[in-house]
Amino acid sequence: MHITHSLRQMLMALLFGIYAINATAQEHDIMVVANLDNHTVKLDKIDIRNLFMGNASDVVLEPVSLPPQTLARAVFNTKIIGLTESRIQSYWSQMRFSGRSRPPREISTVDELISYVSSHKDTVAFVPASARIPAHLTVIYSTAKM
């Protein structure tokens, strides 16, 4: 009985551990979701980088972002953009004050962001991989293994 109890505790600890690892992995992964008519669209990292850095791209979508200092944005900067937040800010100051382009609109929470994308056609945003997204949105990219 005592052994069974210990075993159960160990098993629980192990399961919780796996769950925790998964949760951390999910926190450090993001997915890029878009409001599109064509649900089969998949983009690569360069397309997404171009969309969020204001460069010309084959796909025309309005990017929407979370504010700096959010975990999902830090993950997106590191895994997709490949630049630090400071470098991105300095890039946008060059684009804005030379009249070339403006940074993406920022929405403060993940829920508001998802709701904005849900209600605006041809918009695109990155959200934590663990976020629940409405069925009519398309996941066009994910840093997690799908």
Quickly tell me which residue has 């399961």 as its tokens. 15
Q: Please, which residues have CB within 8 angstroms of residue 32's CB and are 6 or more apart in sequence?
A: 43, 48, 80, 124, 125, 126, 139, 140, 141, 142
Element (H, E) at 31: strand 30-34
Both tokens of residue 56?
A: 């010309």
Site for other proteins, residues 87 to 126, rule: CB under 8 A:
87, 89-91, 93-94, 96-100, 102
Least distance to other proteins, CB of residue 94, Å = 4
Least distance to other proteins, CB of residue 74, Å = 11
Element (H, E) at 141: strand 138-142
Does 56 interact with other proteins (rule: CB under 8 A)?
Answer: yes
Does 18 interact with other proteins (rule: CB under 8 A)?
Answer: no
Cβ proximity to other proteins, 29 vs 85, nearer residue: 85
Interface ranges with other proteins (CB under 8 A)? 45-46, 49-50, 53, 55-58, 60, 68-69, 78, 82-87, 89-91, 93-94, 96-100, 102
